[in-house]
Amino acid sequence: MDPEEDWLVESLRLYEDFYAFDLSGATRVLEWIDDKGVFVAGYESLKKNEILHLKLPLRLSVKENKGLFPERDFKVRHGGFSDRSIFDLKHVPHTRLLVTSGLPGCYLQVWQVAEDSDVIKAVSTIGVHEKEESLWPRVAVFTSMAPRVLHGARLRSLQVVDLESRKTTYTSDVSDSEELSSLQVLDADTFAFCCASGQLGLVDTRQKWAPLENRSPGPGSGGERWCAEVGSRGQGPGPSIASLGSDGRLCLLDPRDLCHPVSSVQCPVSIPSPDPELLRVTWAPSLKNCLAISGFDGTVQVYDATSWNGTQSQVEPLFTHRGHVFLDGNGMDPAPLVTTHTWHPCRPRTLLSATNDASLHVWDWVDLCAPC
Amino acid sequence: MPEIRVTPLGAGQDVGRSCILVSIAGKNVMLDCGMHMGFNDDRRFPDFSYITQNGRLTDFLDCVIISHFHLDHCGALPYFSEMVGYDGPIYMTHPTQAICPILLEDYRKIAVDKKGEANFFTSQMIKDCMKKVVAVHLHQTVQVDDELEIKAYYAGHVLGAAMFQIKVGSESVVYTGDYNMTPDRHLGAAWIDKCRPNLLITESTYATTIRDSKRCRERDFLKKVHETVERGGKVLIPVFALGRAQELCILLETFWERMNLKVPIYFSTGLTEKANHYYKLFIPWTNQKIRKTFVQRNMFEFKHIKAFDRAFADNPGPMVVFATPGMLHAGQSLQIFRKWAGNEKNMVIMPGYCVQGTVGHKILSGQRKLEMEGRQVLEVKMQVEYMSFSAHADAKGIMQLVGQAEPESVLLVHGEAKKMEFLKQKIEQELRRQPGGRRGAHLGSMEATWAEAFSSWGPGVSCYMPANGETVTLPTSPSIPVGISLGLLKREMAQGLLPEAKKPRLLHGTLIMKDSNFRLVSSEQALKELGLAEHQLRFTCRVHLHDTRKEQEMALRVYSHLKSVLKDHCVQHLPDGSVTVESILIQAAAPSEDPGTKVLLVSWTYQDEELGSFLTSLLKKGLPQAPS
C-alpha cells in the first residue's frame, strides 16, 4: 500500500479542493495582493532568489460555473531577482510597490511591480539604524494617502518612515533591546508588536511611546520564542489576540487586558519546534474564532477556540493538513517543515501553505464537525 | 557569418497552429503543421506564403517534421501537402504515423459532415498525405540528405510525442514540440542528452505557469465521479479512442478496487481492442510501470470495467460510461448524452478541448439549451465539468530541459515578448550558468584567444521571442577544427617568441582540405605532398647611376658603401665582381651608349622583398664620393 495513494484517497473526504505546486525555490512569504494573487520570495543564501507575483488558478478565483474552468495552474504574472534572502515581504496597498526585508545587510528593499511588463524591479532602499549581522527588521505598512513603513529588529529601533519623503514620523524612543518577532498594523494610527520573549504591546502613534503591554517577563521565561497575531475587529466578541510559543502553548488575549490571557492551551505539536522563527499563528478572516498554526513540523493545524476558557491542558485541532508530509515528504529524510501559511481573504476554509522543500499547497478543508 | 533563421508562421498570439520554419546552413525545415482550433476560416491555417512567394514548396523545403498527433500540431498537414502542394518527406515517429490519420479523419468528419464546410481536405487527401510520411525511431539518426540529419528524442506528453534535433555539420537546432518533465501513469518524462544545440525552440505558453500536480488533477476527477455516483447519478466521459481514455480507466479501476465499489463502469465497444492493439505496438513509448504491468497481465482487461451495450444507458441507478467520440459531435457519446442531460444528478466530464460546432464545445461555453436535429431543444440540467489532464512542462520544466540540453540560445514561440522580460532574464541566467559552449574555431593553443574574440562579438541576446511572422536571425560561430602539423608549430616556436594565451598570433601556412579534414602545414610540406615544384620568383631592378669609373671599381665602391650601412647583414664581394647582401645580387654593368652612366642590376627573391626594396631605394640615392 502506497502511503501517498492512501492519503490521496482519504483526501477525497477531507478536502473540497486541493492543489499542489512545486515552486522553483522555497518561500517564507505568502502576501496577498487583492484576492486573486500572492507574492512569494526565495530565502536561500549565496544564490539569486526570485520574487514572484502568482495569479491564482482560475478555478479558485471564479465565483460561478467553476466546472467550466479547467485551469488549475498558477500564472507567474510578475517576477524579479534578489541577491539577498527575503524573510518578509509586504505589499503597499493601492500602489505597485513592495517592501522586503532579509539578510545579509540590515536594510529594507523597495520594489516596483511593472505595469506593462512582467518585471519586479528594485527601486530604492530604506536604511535601518540597527546594524546587526543576524537580525532582520520586521515590516508592516500603514495604508493611507501617504503610505508609511513600520520597521524594526528590536524595540529600541522601531520606526515609522514615510515612504515617499523617507522622513521618520515616529520612533519608539526606548532603550529596550528586546528582539521583535512580529509587527502588525491595526488601523491608520495603531499597531501591535510581539517580542520573541512573548512581550506584547499595542501602540497608538498619535501619542508618544506609551504602549498597552504586558510588562511581565511574559509566559516565555523558559527560553521559548513567541509570535502573535491580532484578529480583525469583525471577529465578534471575545479575545482577539493570539500568541503562540515554541513550546506549543497558545494564549488568547483581550486587548483591554494584555497581562491576563483569557485562555491558554497546549497544542498537540511536536516540540521543540525545529526553527522557532518560522512559527506562525493566524486568525481566519471569515470563520468566527478559528485560528491556524504552523512551524512545528510539516503540518498546519486549524483550531476552533469558541469554547476555550481558562487554562486547558490539551485541545484537539478542528483540522490538520498533512498534505506536505504525504505528498512531498513521503518518508524522505529530512521531513518537510512548513515555513508559512495564510488564509484566503474570501473563501472561508481555503488556506495556502508552503514548506522548506519548495512546495506550495492550496487546500479547502471540509468541516466534518459541522451539521449537515 | 553563417546564421540560423527561425520564423514562426501564422498570425495571432494564441496557442494553436504550431508551424515553424527553420533555415540552417542552407537547409529549410518546417516544424509541425498545426491547425488553429478556434477559427473556422483561413485563419486556422498557418500562413504558408511566408515560406516562398514563388517557386514550389517541394523545392524549397528539405523536409517537414511533425512532433505529435495533436491537431494543433498536425491538423493542417493534409491541407499543406495536398492542397497547397508539397511532395517531399514528412518525418514523424511510428505512433504518430499510426494515430495522426485517425484524428485527421475524425476532424474532417466534424468539419464537413457537421459543419458543412466546403474547402476542406478529403479522406483521400489524408491518405495521400500519409504516403509521404517516413517514420523514425527514438535516438535514430536519420539522414535526410548528405548534409541534413535529424534525431527524435522522447518527449512524454502523449503517446509518440518527440522532440527533434536538426543538424547540419556542426550547427544544430532542437525543437521540443510539446513535452513534459514529470512522468505520469502511462508516459515517462522527456529526456535529451547534452547535445548543446545552437538553438532550442520551445513553447512559451506554459513557461509562465506553475502546474498543479497530476495527482491533484486526478483527485479532482475521482472526487467528481465518486460524488456523482454516491448520489445515484450517472457519469458520462466522452473520449477519443486513444490516450486519455486508458489513463482514466486505470485510475478508476485502481480507485474502485481500493474502495471496494460496486457501481458499474462501462467502456464503449471497440475501444478496448483498438487501444490494446496500439498500446501493445508502442510499449517502448510508455513508462516503466506500464511495461511491467503488461508483462503481468493485459492492461485492458479490467476487473471493474465492462464492455458497454446501448441498452445499458436506460438502466436505473448510478454508472460510469466512457464513450466515443470525444467531442460529443456524433455517435454513441452523443446518444447517451441526450438521454442523461435532463437529470441534474448526472454529470458529463469533458477531458479535453472541443472543436467549435460540436455539442461538447457548446456546453463547455455554458450553453444550457441546445438545438438538436429536427429543431428539438435539449435542456441540459446535468452537471458539466471541464477537466484538463494534458501534461505540459511549466516554468520549472523548461529550466530543467535547458539544463539538460545546454543550448547556446533559446527561442520561445507563442509569447508576447514585451510581457516576458522576467522569463527572458531567467532563461539567460540559466544559459550563462552553463559551461562555455563551443564558440570559435579550435586552433590548438589559440582556442582560448579565439573564444574570447568571438564572445566579444557575440549577440547580447540569448533568449528570443519572435512574434508570428517575424524572423529571428541567429549568428552562429561554427567550429571548424583544423589540425596543425608538428613541423609548422616547431618552426614557429623556433622563431623564439613564446605563445601568449591572450594575444593572437599570425601564422602562415597552407590549408589542405581533403574529404572533411582540414590541415595546416608548411608550404614546403604541402608542395611535397602534392608533388608540385616550388616556383621561385625573382625580381630585378635597374638603378641608373652617374659614374664614370669602370664597372669593377663601381662594384667595389658599392660593396664598401653597403658594408658600412648594412652592419647587420651579410654583405659579400664575390670574385666575379658582384656584391651580395643575403640572397640579393647586385651587379654593375656599363651600357654601351653612355660611358658616364652605369647600371646596377639588383635582383632578389620574393622572400627578400623588403630588403630588396630597401636596397634599391638606398642605391638610387647614389654612392658617396670616394676618398681620393
> Residue B49: how many CB atoms within 10 A of its CB?
9
Tell me whether A68 touches chain B (CB under 8 Å).
yes
Residues in chain A, overall count: 372
B442 pLDDT more than 80: no
Alpha carbon B284 to its chain centroid, in Å, reads 24
Beta strands, E only, B127-247: 133-136, 141-143, 148-154, 162-168, 171-175, 199-203, 209-210, 234-238
B408 neighbors B196 (Cβ within 8 angstroms): yes
Residue partners of B52: CB distance under 8 A and separation at least 6: B60
A237 pLDDT more than 50: yes
Average pLDDT, chain A: 89
Distance from CA of A196 to the nearest CA of B (A): 35
Is the Cβ pair B211, A21 closer than 8 Å?
yes
B30 pLDDT more than 90: yes
Residue partners of A136: CB distance under 8 A and separation at least 6: A87, A88, A101, A102, A103, A106, A153
- All residues of chain A having their beta carbon less than 8 Å from the beta carbon of residue B421 are 114, 117-119
Which long-range contacts (C-beta less than 8 Å, at least 24 apart) are formed by B451-460? B452/B502, B453/B504, B459/B409
Tell me whether B211 touches chain A (CB under 8 Å).
yes
- If you ran DSSP here, which 8-state letter would residue B533 be given? P
Is A295 inside any structural domain?
A: yes
Domain count, chain A: 1
Is A310 inside any structural domain?
A: yes
3-state secondary structure of A369: coil
- Alpha-carbon radius of gyration of chain B: 38
Q: Which of B326 and A191 is assigned the larger pLDDT?
A: A191
Residue of B nearest to A363 (CA): B216
| pLDDT interval class at B288 (50, 70, 90) | low
How far is B579 from B553, CA to CA, in rounded Å? 12
- Cα angle B205, B207, B211 (rounded to 5 degrees) comes to 95
B338 pLDDT more than 90: yes
Suggest the residue from B422, B430, B463 to mutate for an interface test with chain A (most A CBs closer than 10 A).
B422
Is A61 inside any structural domain?
A: no
Nearest to B457 by CA among B482, B477, B443: B477
All three cell numbers of B505, joined, read 598570433
Is the Cβ pair B219, A8 closer than 8 Å?
yes
How far is A37 from A20, CA to CA, in rounded Å? 16
Is the Cβ pair A20, B213 closer than 8 Å?
yes
Residue B131 identity:
K
A346 pLDDT more than 80: yes
> What pLDDT is recorded for position B499?
67
> Rounded to a whole number, what is the largest CA-CA distance in chain A?
64
Nearest to B199 by CA among B479, B477, B480, B474: B474
All three cell numbers of A289, joined, read 474564532
- Residues 222..241 of B with a Cβ closer than 8 Å to A: which? 222-223, 226
> What pLDDT is recorded for position B456?
36
pLDDT one-digit tens code per residue, A57-90: 988 888 888 888 888 999 999 999 999 999 999 9
Is the Cβ pair B388, A71 closer than 8 Å?
yes
Is A344 inside any structural domain?
A: yes
| pLDDT interval class at A25 (50, 70, 90) | very high
Nearest to B24 by CA among B58, B57, B61: B61
CA B606 to each of CA B150, B507, B616: distance values in angstroms, whole numbers, following the listed order: 51, 18, 14
Is the Cβ pair A81, B219 closer than 8 Å?
no
> Residue A333: how many CB atoms within 10 A of its CB?
5
- All residues of chain B having their beta carbon less than 8 Å from the beta carbon of residue A360 are 210
How far is B136 from B142, CA to CA, in rounded Å? 8
All three cell numbers of A211, joined, read 504602549
All three cell numbers of A256, joined, read 483591554
Residue B79 identity:
Y
Distance from CA of A96 to the nearest CA of B (A): 16
Tell me whether A83 touches chain B (CB under 8 Å).
no
Is A320 inside any structural domain?
A: yes
Alpha carbon A38 to its chain centroid, in Å, reads 12
Is A37 inside any structural domain?
A: no
Is the Cβ pair A76, B222 closer than 8 Å?
no
Residue of B nearest to A2 (CA): B258
How far is B573 from B579, CA to CA, in rounded Å? 5
Is A262 inside any structural domain?
A: yes
- All residues of chain A having their beta carbon less than 8 Å from the beta carbon of residue B211 are 21, 73
How far is A330 from A322, CA to CA, in rounded Å? 11
> What pLDDT is recorded for position B295?
47
Tell me whether A134 touches chain B (CB under 8 Å).
no
| pLDDT interval class at A234 (50, 70, 90) | low
| pLDDT interval class at B451 (50, 70, 90) | very low
A–B CB contacts, 8 A cutoff, strictly below: 106
Distance from CA of A12 to the nearest CA of B (A): 6
Is the Cβ pair A117, B383 closer than 8 Å?
no
Is the Cβ pair B366, A5 closer than 8 Å?
no
Q: What is the ipTM of this complex?
A: 0.91
Distance from CA of B25 to the nearest CA of A (A): 35
Suggest the residue from B180, B185, B210 to mutate for an interface test with chain A (most A CBs closer than 10 A).
B210
A210 pLDDT more than 90: no
pLDDT one-digit tens code per residue, B139-161: 999 999 999 999 999 998 888 99
- If you ran DSSP here, which 8-state letter would residue A257 be given? B
CATH at residue A5: 2.130.10.10
- Structural domain including A299 reads 1-23+224-362
Distance from CA of B384 to the nearest CA of A (A): 6
The mean pLDDT of B464-492, rounded to a whole number, is 85
Average pLDDT, chain B: 83
Active site residues of B: 203
- All residues of chain A having their beta carbon less than 8 Å from the beta carbon of residue B212 are 19-21, 57, 72-74
Suggest the residue from A15, A19, A113, A359 to mutate for an interface test with chain B (most B CBs closer than 10 A).
A19
Distance from CA of A364 to the nearest CA of B (A): 12
Tell me whether B209 touches chain A (CB under 8 Å).
yes
Of B217, B365, B395, the CB nearest to A24: B395
| pLDDT interval class at B402 (50, 70, 90) | very high
A160 neighbors A142 (Cβ within 8 angstroms): yes
Is A327 inside any structural domain?
A: yes
- All residues of chain A having their beta carbon less than 8 Å from the beta carbon of residue B383 are 67
Residue of A nearest to B391 (CA): A73
Please give the model's pTM, rounded to 2 decimal places.
0.82
